Protein backbone atom coordinates (compact mmCIF):
# COMPACT_ATOMS: atom_id res chain seq x y z
CA UNK A 1 0.00 0.00 0.00
CA UNK A 2 1.35 3.47 -0.83
CA UNK A 3 2.00 5.46 2.27
CA UNK A 4 -0.18 8.59 2.07
CA UNK A 5 2.22 10.45 4.30
CA UNK A 6 5.25 9.62 2.26
CA UNK A 7 5.46 12.92 0.37
CA UNK A 8 4.81 14.92 3.49
CA UNK A 9 7.38 12.94 5.46
CA UNK A 10 9.92 13.22 2.72
CA UNK A 11 9.46 16.97 2.49
CA UNK A 12 9.75 17.38 6.22
CA UNK A 13 12.92 15.30 6.22
CA UNK A 14 14.46 17.33 3.45
CA UNK A 15 13.60 20.66 4.97
CA UNK A 16 14.81 19.63 8.37
CA UNK A 17 18.04 18.29 6.82
CA UNK A 18 17.74 15.36 9.18
CA UNK A 19 20.71 13.11 8.83
CA UNK A 20 20.16 11.31 12.10
CA UNK A 21 22.55 11.49 15.00
CA UNK A 22 24.30 8.27 14.06
CA UNK A 23 25.29 9.74 10.73
CA UNK A 24 25.95 13.33 11.59
CA UNK A 25 29.70 13.11 11.85
CA UNK A 26 30.05 11.20 8.60
CA UNK A 27 29.11 13.97 6.24
CA UNK A 28 25.61 12.82 5.43
CA UNK A 29 24.05 15.68 3.56
CA UNK A 30 20.54 15.79 2.23
CA UNK A 31 20.30 18.30 -0.57
CA UNK A 32 17.78 20.81 0.68
CA UNK A 33 14.64 21.14 -1.33
CA UNK A 34 15.89 18.82 -4.04
CA UNK A 35 13.70 15.95 -5.09
CA UNK A 36 14.45 13.17 -7.49
CA UNK A 37 13.42 13.95 -11.02
CA UNK A 38 12.77 10.21 -11.41
CA UNK A 39 9.73 10.45 -9.19
CA UNK A 40 6.78 11.57 -11.23
CA UNK A 41 4.43 13.72 -9.19
CA UNK A 42 1.31 11.62 -9.81
CA UNK A 43 2.71 8.13 -10.12
CA UNK A 44 4.93 7.99 -7.07
CA UNK A 45 5.53 10.02 -3.98
CA UNK A 46 8.63 12.20 -4.06
CA UNK A 47 11.93 10.83 -2.91
CA UNK A 48 14.28 13.06 -0.98
CA UNK A 49 17.53 13.60 -2.81
CA UNK A 50 20.41 12.13 -0.87
CA UNK A 51 23.92 12.92 -1.97
CA UNK A 52 26.21 9.88 -1.81
CA UNK A 53 28.20 9.68 1.40
CA UNK A 54 30.92 7.28 2.42
CA UNK A 55 30.43 5.18 5.55
CA UNK A 56 33.15 2.58 5.08
CA UNK A 57 36.53 3.90 6.19
CA UNK A 58 39.45 3.45 3.79
CA UNK A 59 41.28 0.19 4.49
CA UNK A 60 44.53 0.63 6.40
CA UNK A 61 47.84 0.76 4.51
CA UNK A 62 49.04 -2.21 6.58
CA UNK A 63 48.04 -5.64 5.25
CA UNK A 64 44.66 -6.97 6.35
CA UNK A 65 43.41 -10.38 5.20
CA UNK A 66 39.67 -10.42 4.48
CA UNK A 67 37.09 -12.75 3.00
CA UNK A 68 36.40 -16.39 3.87
CA UNK A 69 38.22 -18.22 6.66
CA UNK A 70 37.16 -21.61 5.35
CA UNK A 71 36.97 -23.07 1.84
CA UNK A 72 35.81 -26.47 0.59
CA UNK A 73 37.26 -28.49 -2.28
CA UNK A 74 36.84 -32.09 -3.44
CA UNK A 75 39.84 -34.45 -3.23
CA UNK A 76 42.28 -33.96 -6.11
CA UNK A 77 40.24 -31.17 -7.70
CA UNK A 78 41.75 -27.84 -8.65
CA UNK A 79 41.80 -25.26 -5.88
CA UNK A 80 42.04 -21.61 -6.93
CA UNK A 81 42.04 -18.92 -4.29
CA UNK A 82 43.23 -15.35 -4.48
CA UNK A 83 44.05 -14.25 -0.94
CA UNK A 84 41.76 -11.29 -0.27
CA UNK A 85 44.08 -8.76 1.30
CA UNK A 86 43.92 -4.99 1.52
CA UNK A 87 46.91 -2.74 2.09
CA UNK A 88 49.60 -0.99 0.16
CA UNK A 89 51.26 -2.86 -2.70
CA UNK A 90 53.77 -4.35 -3.27
CA UNK A 91 52.81 -7.10 -0.87
CA UNK A 92 54.63 -10.31 -0.12
CA UNK A 93 52.57 -13.40 0.66
CA UNK A 94 53.48 -16.66 2.37
CA UNK A 95 51.45 -19.68 3.48
CA UNK A 96 52.48 -22.08 6.25
CA UNK A 97 51.32 -25.70 6.19
CA UNK A 98 50.06 -25.41 2.64
CA UNK A 99 49.37 -28.88 1.17
CA UNK A 100 52.27 -29.65 -1.19
CA UNK A 101 50.09 -29.98 -4.26
CA UNK A 102 48.94 -26.35 -3.98
CA UNK A 103 51.36 -23.62 -5.07
CA UNK A 104 51.49 -20.04 -3.88
CA UNK A 105 52.30 -17.06 -6.07
CA UNK A 106 53.95 -14.90 -3.39
CA UNK A 107 53.47 -11.60 -5.25
CA UNK A 108 49.87 -11.93 -6.37
CA UNK A 109 48.86 -13.99 -3.35
CA UNK A 110 47.25 -16.72 -5.46
CA UNK A 111 46.92 -20.30 -4.23
CA UNK A 112 46.47 -22.80 -7.01
CA UNK A 113 46.81 -26.50 -7.60
CA UNK A 114 45.07 -29.82 -7.03
CA UNK A 115 43.74 -30.40 -3.53
CA UNK A 116 45.21 -33.35 -1.65
CA UNK A 117 43.62 -36.75 -2.29
CA UNK A 118 43.42 -37.26 1.44
CA UNK A 119 40.17 -35.91 2.88
CA UNK A 120 40.39 -33.73 5.94
CA UNK A 121 40.92 -30.21 7.23
CA UNK A 122 44.12 -28.43 6.26
CA UNK A 123 44.68 -25.34 8.35
CA UNK A 124 46.95 -23.01 6.39
CA UNK A 125 48.38 -19.87 7.92
CA UNK A 126 48.28 -17.10 5.35
CA UNK A 127 50.80 -14.32 5.81
CA UNK A 128 50.99 -10.92 4.14
CA UNK A 129 53.62 -8.24 4.56
CA UNK A 130 54.30 -4.84 3.03
CA UNK A 131 56.50 -1.89 4.01
CA UNK A 132 53.86 -0.77 6.52
CA UNK A 133 53.53 -3.99 8.48
CA UNK A 134 52.49 -7.62 8.39
CA UNK A 135 49.59 -9.83 9.31
CA UNK A 136 48.53 -13.47 9.31
CA UNK A 137 45.28 -15.37 9.36
CA UNK A 138 44.26 -19.00 9.12
CA UNK A 139 42.43 -20.40 6.16
CA UNK A 140 40.89 -23.81 6.73
CA UNK A 141 40.82 -25.80 3.48
CA UNK A 142 38.32 -28.60 3.91
CA UNK A 143 38.96 -31.44 1.48
CA UNK A 144 35.77 -33.46 1.23
CA UNK A 145 32.39 -33.30 -0.43
CA UNK A 146 31.33 -29.84 0.61
CA UNK A 147 31.73 -26.69 -1.45
CA UNK A 148 30.66 -23.10 -0.83
CA UNK A 149 31.28 -23.36 2.90
CA UNK A 150 30.68 -19.61 2.99
CA UNK A 151 28.34 -17.77 0.61
CA UNK A 152 29.95 -17.36 -2.82
CA UNK A 153 30.96 -13.80 -3.70
CA UNK A 154 31.54 -12.28 -7.09
CA UNK A 155 30.01 -10.57 -10.07
CA UNK A 156 27.35 -11.67 -12.56
CA UNK A 157 26.77 -9.71 -15.75
CA UNK A 158 23.00 -10.09 -16.06
CA UNK A 159 21.68 -6.78 -14.74
CA UNK A 160 24.18 -4.79 -16.71
CA UNK A 161 24.65 -6.53 -20.05
CA UNK A 162 21.68 -8.87 -20.64
CA UNK A 163 21.89 -10.16 -24.25
CA UNK A 164 24.80 -7.81 -25.03
CA UNK A 165 27.38 -9.73 -23.04
CA UNK A 166 30.72 -10.40 -24.75
CA UNK A 167 33.91 -12.22 -23.90
CA UNK A 168 35.72 -8.91 -23.83
CA UNK A 169 33.34 -7.52 -21.21
CA UNK A 170 33.87 -10.65 -19.10
CA UNK A 171 37.64 -10.26 -19.28
CA UNK A 172 37.33 -6.58 -18.42
CA UNK A 173 35.15 -7.48 -15.44
CA UNK A 174 37.81 -9.89 -14.18
CA UNK A 175 40.46 -7.18 -14.54
CA UNK A 176 38.21 -4.70 -12.74
CA UNK A 177 37.60 -7.14 -9.89
CA UNK A 178 41.31 -7.05 -9.19
CA UNK A 179 42.04 -3.40 -10.04
CA UNK A 180 39.08 -1.96 -8.14
CA UNK A 181 40.18 -3.85 -5.03
CA UNK A 182 36.97 -5.94 -4.88
CA UNK A 183 39.06 -9.13 -4.95
CA UNK A 184 40.90 -7.84 -1.86
CA UNK A 185 37.63 -8.15 0.04
CA UNK A 186 36.74 -11.66 -1.15
CA UNK A 187 34.90 -11.17 -4.45
CA UNK A 188 36.01 -14.14 -6.46
CA UNK A 189 33.56 -15.49 -9.06
CA UNK A 190 33.29 -13.83 -12.46
CA UNK A 191 30.08 -15.27 -13.86
CA UNK A 192 28.43 -15.06 -17.29
CA UNK A 193 24.70 -15.29 -17.16
CA UNK A 194 22.44 -16.09 -20.09
CA UNK A 195 23.25 -15.24 -23.73
CA UNK A 196 26.77 -16.61 -24.19
CA UNK A 197 25.42 -19.39 -26.40
CA UNK A 198 23.75 -19.30 -29.82
CA UNK A 199 20.21 -18.02 -30.21
CA UNK A 200 18.57 -20.37 -32.71
CA UNK A 201 16.89 -18.52 -35.56
CA UNK A 202 18.31 -15.10 -34.71
CA UNK A 203 19.21 -13.13 -37.87
CA UNK A 204 22.19 -11.43 -36.17
CA UNK A 205 25.21 -13.50 -37.29
CA UNK A 206 26.97 -12.70 -34.01
CA UNK A 207 24.43 -14.63 -31.98
CA UNK A 208 22.44 -16.70 -34.53
CA UNK A 209 23.55 -19.84 -36.36
CA UNK A 210 24.01 -23.47 -35.42
CA UNK A 211 23.81 -23.91 -31.66
CA UNK A 212 25.80 -27.17 -31.66
CA UNK A 213 28.50 -28.82 -33.75
CA UNK A 214 28.14 -32.13 -35.60
CA UNK A 215 28.87 -34.06 -32.39
CA UNK A 216 26.20 -32.13 -30.53
CA UNK A 217 28.68 -30.03 -28.58
CA UNK A 218 27.28 -26.69 -27.47
CA UNK A 219 28.85 -23.68 -29.18
CA UNK A 220 29.36 -20.23 -27.73
CA UNK A 221 28.10 -17.42 -29.95
CA UNK A 222 30.53 -15.27 -31.93
CA UNK A 223 30.81 -12.72 -29.16
CA UNK A 224 32.80 -15.41 -27.32
CA UNK A 225 35.60 -16.27 -29.77
CA UNK A 226 37.77 -17.99 -27.13
CA UNK A 227 35.76 -19.08 -24.14
CA UNK A 228 38.45 -21.41 -22.86
CA UNK A 229 41.04 -18.63 -23.14
CA UNK A 230 38.65 -16.38 -21.22
CA UNK A 231 38.33 -18.87 -18.38
CA UNK A 232 42.11 -19.40 -18.31
CA UNK A 233 42.52 -15.64 -18.09
CA UNK A 234 40.07 -15.38 -15.18
CA UNK A 235 41.97 -18.20 -13.44
CA UNK A 236 45.32 -16.52 -14.07
CA UNK A 237 44.09 -13.68 -11.86
CA UNK A 238 43.30 -16.18 -9.11
CA UNK A 239 39.57 -15.74 -9.71
CA UNK A 240 36.96 -18.36 -10.59
CA UNK A 241 34.59 -18.45 -13.55
CA UNK A 242 30.91 -19.24 -13.72
CA UNK A 243 28.27 -19.70 -16.38
CA UNK A 244 24.57 -20.28 -16.91
CA UNK A 245 22.40 -22.76 -18.72
CA UNK A 246 18.88 -24.12 -18.57
CA UNK A 247 17.59 -27.70 -18.32
CA UNK A 248 15.00 -26.69 -20.93
CA UNK A 249 15.44 -26.56 -24.70
CA UNK A 250 15.94 -22.78 -24.46
CA UNK A 251 17.16 -20.35 -21.83
CA UNK A 252 15.00 -17.55 -20.48
CA UNK A 253 16.36 -15.23 -23.17
CA UNK A 254 15.60 -17.97 -25.75
CA UNK A 255 19.20 -19.01 -26.39
CA UNK A 256 20.25 -22.67 -26.64
CA UNK A 257 19.54 -24.69 -23.49
CA UNK A 258 20.92 -28.03 -22.28
CA UNK A 259 17.81 -30.22 -22.67
CA UNK A 260 18.86 -33.73 -23.71
CA UNK A 261 22.50 -32.61 -23.70
CA UNK A 262 22.94 -32.26 -19.95
CA UNK A 263 25.94 -34.54 -19.57
CA UNK A 264 27.64 -33.40 -22.75
CA UNK A 265 27.24 -29.75 -21.75
CA UNK A 266 28.45 -30.26 -18.20
CA UNK A 267 31.55 -32.03 -19.52
CA UNK A 268 32.12 -29.17 -21.91
CA UNK A 269 31.79 -26.62 -19.10
CA UNK A 270 34.36 -28.56 -17.07
CA UNK A 271 36.67 -28.80 -20.07
CA UNK A 272 36.48 -25.06 -20.50
CA UNK A 273 37.41 -24.83 -16.81
CA UNK A 274 34.30 -23.30 -15.27
CA UNK A 275 33.80 -23.44 -11.51
CA UNK A 276 30.17 -22.39 -11.03
CA UNK A 277 26.91 -23.31 -12.79
CA UNK A 278 23.62 -21.44 -12.56
CA UNK A 279 20.84 -23.72 -13.73
CA UNK A 280 17.67 -21.90 -14.69
CA UNK A 281 14.23 -23.42 -14.95
CA UNK A 282 13.20 -21.45 -18.04
CA UNK A 283 11.47 -23.35 -20.86
CA UNK A 284 11.93 -26.57 -18.88
CA UNK A 285 8.28 -26.32 -17.85
CA UNK A 286 7.26 -27.35 -21.39
CA UNK A 287 9.09 -30.65 -21.00
CA UNK A 288 8.76 -31.11 -17.25
CA UNK A 289 5.63 -33.18 -17.39
CA UNK A 290 4.22 -31.72 -14.17
CA UNK A 291 4.59 -29.25 -11.36
CA UNK A 292 4.74 -31.79 -8.53
CA UNK A 293 7.78 -31.89 -6.31
CA UNK A 294 9.38 -34.75 -8.15
CA UNK A 295 9.15 -32.91 -11.48
CA UNK A 296 10.53 -29.75 -9.89
CA UNK A 297 13.49 -31.62 -8.47
CA UNK A 298 14.29 -33.86 -11.40
CA UNK A 299 16.43 -31.58 -13.61
CA UNK A 300 18.46 -30.39 -10.62
CA UNK A 301 19.06 -33.92 -9.36
CA UNK A 302 20.07 -35.01 -12.81
CA UNK A 303 22.54 -32.17 -13.27
CA UNK A 304 24.03 -32.41 -9.81
CA UNK A 305 24.65 -36.15 -10.29
CA UNK A 306 26.53 -35.28 -13.45
CA UNK A 307 28.51 -32.47 -11.80
CA UNK A 308 29.57 -34.72 -8.95
CA UNK A 309 31.16 -37.16 -11.38
CA UNK A 310 33.28 -34.49 -13.06
CA UNK A 311 36.89 -33.86 -12.16
CA UNK A 312 36.19 -30.15 -11.47
CA UNK A 313 34.30 -28.55 -8.65
CA UNK A 314 31.16 -26.69 -9.60
CA UNK A 315 29.24 -24.56 -7.19
CA UNK A 316 25.68 -25.38 -8.24
CA UNK A 317 23.16 -22.53 -8.17
CA UNK A 318 19.51 -23.52 -8.62
CA UNK A 319 17.48 -20.82 -10.30
CA UNK A 320 13.83 -21.79 -10.21
CA UNK A 321 12.52 -18.79 -8.26
CA UNK A 322 11.66 -20.66 -5.05
CA UNK A 323 9.15 -23.09 -6.56
CA UNK A 324 8.09 -26.00 -4.37
CA UNK A 325 9.76 -24.37 -1.35
CA UNK A 326 13.20 -25.09 -2.77
CA UNK A 327 14.87 -24.02 0.49
CA UNK A 328 13.55 -27.26 1.99
CA UNK A 329 15.21 -29.54 -0.59
CA UNK A 330 17.76 -27.50 -2.55
CA UNK A 331 20.68 -29.03 -0.68
CA UNK A 332 19.25 -32.55 -0.95
CA UNK A 333 19.32 -32.35 -4.75
CA UNK A 334 22.90 -31.12 -4.73
CA UNK A 335 22.42 -27.33 -4.82
CA UNK A 336 24.80 -25.03 -2.98
CA UNK A 337 22.49 -22.05 -3.27
CA UNK A 338 19.01 -21.54 -4.63
CA UNK A 339 17.05 -18.51 -5.64
CA UNK A 340 14.13 -18.09 -3.26
CA UNK A 341 12.13 -15.55 -5.29
CA UNK A 342 11.61 -14.14 -8.76
CA UNK A 343 14.09 -11.70 -10.24
CA UNK A 344 15.02 -8.85 -7.92
CA UNK A 345 15.06 -6.47 -10.88
CA UNK A 346 11.44 -7.25 -11.70
CA UNK A 347 10.08 -6.97 -8.19
CA UNK A 348 7.62 -4.13 -7.69
CA UNK A 349 6.53 -2.82 -4.38
CA UNK A 350 4.29 0.19 -3.99
CA UNK A 351 6.06 1.45 -0.93
CA UNK A 352 9.68 0.37 -0.94
CA UNK A 353 12.22 -0.51 -3.63
CA UNK A 354 11.88 -4.13 -4.81
CA UNK A 355 14.95 -5.49 -3.03
CA UNK A 356 13.19 -5.04 0.31
CA UNK A 357 10.34 -7.40 -0.56
CA UNK A 358 12.73 -9.93 -2.11
CA UNK A 359 14.98 -9.64 0.93
CA UNK A 360 12.12 -9.93 3.40
CA UNK A 361 10.76 -13.04 1.68
CA UNK A 362 14.22 -14.57 1.59
CA UNK A 363 14.71 -13.75 5.27
CA UNK A 364 11.81 -16.03 6.22
CA UNK A 365 13.79 -19.12 5.23
CA UNK A 366 16.62 -18.42 7.63
CA UNK A 367 16.47 -21.82 9.30
CA UNK A 368 17.42 -23.63 6.10
CA UNK A 369 20.72 -21.87 5.41
CA UNK A 370 23.97 -23.49 6.47
CA UNK A 371 27.50 -23.98 5.15
CA UNK A 372 27.25 -25.28 1.60
CA UNK A 373 23.52 -24.48 1.39
CA UNK A 374 22.44 -20.86 1.00
CA UNK A 375 19.24 -18.99 0.28
CA UNK A 376 19.84 -16.77 -2.74
CA UNK A 377 17.78 -13.58 -3.03
CA UNK A 378 19.43 -12.65 -6.37
CA UNK A 379 22.08 -10.07 -7.16
CA UNK A 380 23.13 -6.75 -5.74
CA UNK A 381 21.67 -4.34 -8.17
CA UNK A 382 23.52 -1.09 -7.48
CA UNK A 383 26.00 1.12 -9.32
CA UNK A 384 25.41 1.44 -13.06
CA UNK A 385 22.70 -1.06 -14.00
CA UNK A 386 20.38 -1.73 -16.93
CA UNK A 387 16.76 -1.61 -15.77
CA UNK A 388 14.99 -4.93 -16.35
CA UNK A 389 11.55 -3.41 -16.43
CA UNK A 390 12.32 -0.95 -19.20
CA UNK A 391 12.49 -1.54 -22.96
CA UNK A 392 15.66 0.47 -23.01
CA UNK A 393 18.09 -1.46 -20.88
CA UNK A 394 21.00 0.92 -21.36
CA UNK A 395 22.95 0.83 -18.11
CA UNK A 396 22.43 3.92 -15.95
CA UNK A 397 22.90 4.89 -12.28
CA UNK A 398 20.69 2.97 -9.87
CA UNK A 399 17.63 4.91 -8.70
CA UNK A 400 18.22 3.63 -5.14
CA UNK A 401 19.19 6.25 -2.58
CA UNK A 402 22.54 5.89 -0.81
CA UNK A 403 20.81 4.75 2.40
CA UNK A 404 18.88 2.12 0.49
CA UNK A 405 22.09 0.82 -1.01
CA UNK A 406 23.78 0.46 2.39
CA UNK A 407 20.62 -1.31 3.59
CA UNK A 408 20.69 -3.66 0.60
CA UNK A 409 24.26 -4.74 1.29
CA UNK A 410 23.62 -5.04 5.03
CA UNK A 411 20.51 -7.17 4.50
CA UNK A 412 22.24 -9.52 2.04
CA UNK A 413 25.21 -9.83 4.42
CA UNK A 414 23.06 -10.61 7.45
CA UNK A 415 21.11 -13.17 5.42
CA UNK A 416 24.34 -15.01 4.51
CA UNK A 417 23.26 -14.52 0.90
CA UNK A 418 25.57 -15.12 -2.03
CA UNK A 419 27.07 -11.69 -2.69
CA UNK A 420 27.01 -11.07 -6.41
CA UNK A 421 27.29 -7.52 -7.62
CA UNK A 422 25.58 -7.14 -10.99
CA UNK A 423 26.35 -3.57 -12.09
CA UNK A 424 28.91 -2.27 -14.56
CA UNK A 425 32.42 -3.30 -13.54
CA UNK A 426 33.94 -0.74 -15.90
CA UNK A 427 32.16 2.12 -14.20
CA UNK A 428 32.61 1.44 -10.52
CA UNK A 429 32.45 4.68 -8.60
CA UNK A 430 33.80 5.38 -5.15
CA UNK A 431 30.36 5.21 -3.54
CA UNK A 432 29.42 1.83 -5.04
CA UNK A 433 32.76 0.39 -3.92
CA UNK A 434 32.18 1.85 -0.47
CA UNK A 435 28.92 -0.11 -0.25
CA UNK A 436 30.37 -3.32 -1.69
CA UNK A 437 33.70 -3.33 0.11
CA UNK A 438 33.34 -3.03 3.86
CA UNK A 439 35.48 -5.78 5.40
CA UNK A 440 33.49 -5.92 8.66
CA UNK A 441 30.13 -6.13 6.89
CA UNK A 442 31.48 -8.83 4.59
CA UNK A 443 32.90 -10.68 7.58
CA UNK A 444 29.34 -11.07 8.84
CA UNK A 445 28.30 -12.55 5.50
CA UNK A 446 31.32 -14.86 5.34
CA UNK A 447 31.22 -16.00 8.95
CA UNK A 448 32.17 -19.70 9.11
CA UNK A 449 29.28 -20.62 11.41
CA UNK A 450 27.10 -20.12 8.34
CA UNK A 451 23.90 -19.03 10.04
CA UNK A 452 21.39 -16.81 8.32
CA UNK A 453 19.98 -14.00 10.44
CA UNK A 454 16.65 -14.65 12.10
CA UNK A 455 13.87 -12.11 11.89
CA UNK A 456 13.66 -10.38 15.26
CA UNK A 457 10.95 -7.90 14.34
CA UNK A 458 8.95 -7.07 11.26
CA UNK A 459 6.38 -4.29 11.24
CA UNK A 460 5.36 -1.72 8.63
CA UNK A 461 8.24 0.49 9.67
CA UNK A 462 10.79 -1.83 11.27
CA UNK A 463 12.74 -4.79 10.08
CA UNK A 464 15.29 -6.19 12.51
CA UNK A 465 17.63 -9.10 11.76
CA UNK A 466 20.12 -10.86 14.05
CA UNK A 467 22.86 -13.25 12.92
CA UNK A 468 24.89 -15.31 15.38
CA UNK A 469 28.59 -15.46 14.54
CA UNK A 470 31.26 -18.04 15.17
CA UNK A 471 33.00 -16.12 17.96
CA UNK A 472 29.79 -15.92 20.02
CA UNK A 473 28.97 -12.37 18.96
CA UNK A 474 25.75 -11.30 17.29
CA UNK A 475 25.40 -9.09 14.20
CA UNK A 476 22.24 -7.02 14.22
CA UNK A 477 20.64 -4.88 11.53
CA UNK A 478 17.92 -2.34 12.27
CA UNK A 479 16.29 -1.36 8.99
CA UNK A 480 14.11 1.72 8.98
CA UNK A 481 11.37 1.19 6.39
CA UNK A 482 9.65 4.46 7.19
CA UNK A 483 9.76 7.71 5.28
CA UNK A 484 11.56 9.68 7.93
CA UNK A 485 14.57 9.26 10.18
CA UNK A 486 13.55 7.60 13.44
CA UNK A 487 15.02 6.37 16.66
CA UNK A 488 15.09 2.57 16.56
CA UNK A 489 15.70 0.33 19.55
CA UNK A 490 16.22 -3.37 20.06
CA UNK A 491 16.42 -4.87 23.53
CA UNK A 492 18.72 -7.66 24.68
CA UNK A 493 15.58 -9.49 25.61
CA UNK A 494 14.40 -9.53 21.97
CA UNK A 495 17.86 -10.61 20.88
CA UNK A 496 18.16 -13.35 23.50
CA UNK A 497 21.13 -11.62 25.11
CA UNK A 498 21.85 -10.64 28.67
CA UNK A 499 24.42 -8.48 30.38
CA UNK A 500 26.56 -5.64 29.19
CA UNK A 501 27.51 -5.78 25.53
CA UNK A 502 30.36 -4.24 23.63
CA UNK A 503 28.87 -2.53 20.56
CA UNK A 504 30.58 -1.91 17.24
CA UNK A 505 29.10 0.04 14.36
CA UNK A 506 30.05 -2.11 11.38
CA UNK A 507 29.53 0.34 8.54
CA UNK A 508 31.70 2.93 10.26
CA UNK A 509 34.00 0.28 11.80
CA UNK A 510 33.87 2.14 15.06
CA UNK A 511 33.25 1.06 18.65
CA UNK A 512 30.25 2.68 20.29
CA UNK A 513 29.56 2.86 24.01
CA UNK A 514 28.96 -0.51 25.66
CA UNK A 515 25.29 -0.98 26.51
CA UNK A 516 23.49 -2.63 29.41
CA UNK A 517 20.19 -3.83 28.01
CA UNK A 518 19.41 -2.40 24.57
CA UNK A 519 20.81 -0.80 21.47
CA UNK A 520 19.25 2.36 20.16
CA UNK A 521 20.16 4.54 17.17
CA UNK A 522 18.64 7.13 14.95
CA UNK A 523 18.25 5.49 11.56
CA UNK A 524 17.63 7.42 8.38
CA UNK A 525 14.79 6.94 5.93
CA UNK A 526 15.27 3.47 4.40
CA UNK A 527 18.63 3.28 6.14
CA UNK A 528 20.21 0.74 8.43
CA UNK A 529 22.14 0.62 11.67
CA UNK A 530 24.32 -2.47 11.59
CA UNK A 531 26.15 -3.42 14.75
CA UNK A 532 27.99 -6.34 16.24
CA UNK A 533 27.54 -7.18 19.91
CA UNK A 534 29.96 -9.06 22.11
CA UNK A 535 29.43 -9.91 25.75
CA UNK A 536 31.47 -7.27 27.58
CA UNK A 537 33.98 -8.63 30.11
Annotated active-site positions, please?
280, 343
The CB-of-285 to ligand GLA minimum distance in angstroms stands at 13
Q: How many residues does the chain have?
A: 537
CB 279 within 8 A of CB 299: yes
Between 381 and 530, CB nearer to ligand GLA = 381
The CB-of-6 to ligand GLA minimum distance in angstroms stands at 30
Q: How many CB atoms lie within 10 A of CB 38?
A: 9
Between 254 and 457, CB nearer to ligand GLA = 254
CB 243 within 8 A of CB 274: yes
Q: How many CB atoms lie within 10 A of CB 429?
A: 13
Between 23 and 253, CB nearer to ligand GLA = 253
Instruction: Specify the long-range contacts of residues 490-493, CB closer than 8 Å, at least 24 apart.
Output: 490/456, 490/457, 490/464, 490/518, 490/519, 490/520, 491/517, 491/518, 492/517, 492/518, 493/517
List residues near ligand GLA by CB under 6 A: 158, 193-194, 244, 251-253, 280, 282, 319, 343
Report in angstroms the alpha-carbon separations of 471 from 444, 447, 448, 450.
11, 9, 10, 12
Between 74 and 339, CB nearer to ligand GLA = 339
The CB-of-365 to ligand GLA minimum distance in angstroms stands at 17
The CB-of-392 to ligand GLA minimum distance in angstroms stands at 18
Between 316 and 519, CB nearer to ligand GLA = 316
Angstrom distance (rounded) from CA 239 to CA 186: 10
Q: How many CB atoms lie within 10 A of CB 189?
A: 23
**φ and ψ at residue 375, rounded to 5 degrees:** -75, 135
Q: Which residues pair with 83 in a beta bridge?
A: none
Between 194 and 424, CB nearer to ligand GLA = 194
The CB-of-253 to ligand GLA minimum distance in angstroms stands at 4
The CB-of-83 to ligand GLA minimum distance in angstroms stands at 30
CB 116 within 8 A of CB 469: no
**Looking at beta carbons, which residue is closest to ligand GLA?**
252
Helices (H), strands (E): how many in the chain? 13, 29
Amino acid sequence: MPNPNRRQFARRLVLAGLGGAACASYGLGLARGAESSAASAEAAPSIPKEEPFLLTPKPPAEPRINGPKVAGVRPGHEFIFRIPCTGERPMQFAADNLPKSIALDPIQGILRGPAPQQRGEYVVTLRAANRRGKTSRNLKIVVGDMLALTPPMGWNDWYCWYDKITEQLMRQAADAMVKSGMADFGYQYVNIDDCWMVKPGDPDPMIGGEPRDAQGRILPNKRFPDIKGMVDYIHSLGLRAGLYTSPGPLTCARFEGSYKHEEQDARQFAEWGFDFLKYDWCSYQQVAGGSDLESLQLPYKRMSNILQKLDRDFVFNLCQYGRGDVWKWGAEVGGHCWRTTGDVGLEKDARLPGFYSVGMKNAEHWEYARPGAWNDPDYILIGIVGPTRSKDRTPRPTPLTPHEQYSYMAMWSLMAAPLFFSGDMNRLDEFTLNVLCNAEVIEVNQDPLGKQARIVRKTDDDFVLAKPLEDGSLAVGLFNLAETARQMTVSWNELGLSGRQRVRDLWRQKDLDAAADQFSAKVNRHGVAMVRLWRAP
